[in-house]
Amino acid sequence: MILLESRLPRAVAPCTRAFTMVHYVRSLCLLLLVTGLAAFAQVPPELSEEARKQYNAGLKEAGTLIKEKQFETAGTKLDALIAQRPREPQARFLKGVVESELGRADSAMTIFRELIADYPELPEPYNNLAVLYAQKGEYEQARLALETAVRTAPNWAVARENLGDIYARLAASEYERAAKLDRDNKTAPAKLTMVRNLLAATPPAKPKS
């Protein structure tokens, strides 16, 4: 997930709520694995018990393929699941993860935006969308997405930490601008150095599944 060797917001695994940003933005996607999405991604009840078991098995298989970094194969599996249940969010969410891992940021962002439109109560798509915004250097958009995630899930520590990282990144940008506008300013460069050191000193979070 870029600049000043800083750490960007971490992407989330629905159940573990863990993720990363910046040069480590790719770690973000692996954190969005299948196990945690069960809370909001229920296969519609009209499926028979056997069909539901098969569908859930497909989701589990896709999650395993993602963990094993077999992203193309996972994407094919998820496409079949999405065709079967177009509105079911978990397969779509994992498809966004796959697209992110394959470097298809625009496609992944489209998926997360569509999930937000269909399920505005879910914080995870906001969080992952924010990670992708940050990867592109669009920190204001990342801030807005994370602030929405926090409003949706006030007790979600991961989103709050990511939001703090974005605030720090935005603060660094403003300190840098202030220093350039006023060459005699002594405090802005000192604050910029402090924020840069803070961001650089924090190791990237490890994916958890």
Q: Which residues contact 149 (CB under 8 A, 6 or more apart)?
A: 123, 124, 126, 127, 130, 156, 159, 163
pLDDT band of 204, cuts 50, 70, 90: very low
Q: Does residue 125 belong to any structural domain of this protein?
A: yes
The CATH number that applies at residue 72 is: 1.25.40.10
Q: Does residue 35 belong to any structural domain of this protein?
A: yes
pLDDT band of 2, cuts 50, 70, 90: very low
Backbone angles phi, psi at 87, to 5 degrees: -100, -5
> What pLDDT score was predicted for residue 60?
95
Predicted TM-score (pTM) of this structure: 0.76
Q: Does residue 76 belong to any structural domain of this protein?
A: yes
Q: Does residue 206 belong to any structural domain of this protein?
A: no
Average pLDDT, the chain: 79
pLDDT in tens, 63-97: 999 999 999 999 999 999 999 999 999 999 999 99
Over the range 117-141, which residues count as b (16 or more CB within 10 Å of their CB) and which as e?
Answer: eebeebbbbbbbbbbbbbbeeebeb
> What pLDDT score was predicted for residue 12?
52
Q: Does residue 208 belong to any structural domain of this protein?
A: no
pLDDT band of 194, cuts 50, 70, 90: confident
Place of tokens 């496609």: 107
Q: Which residues contact 107 (CB under 8 A, 6 or more apart)?
A: 99
* Residue ranges making up the domain that contains 89: 3-201
Q: Does residue 207 belong to any structural domain of this protein?
A: no
Q: Does residue 209 belong to any structural domain of this protein?
A: no
**Cα 167 from Cα 174, distance rounded (Å):** 11
Contact 113, 129 (CB under 8 A): yes
**Cα 170 from Cα 164, distance rounded (Å):** 10
Structural domains of the chain, count: 1
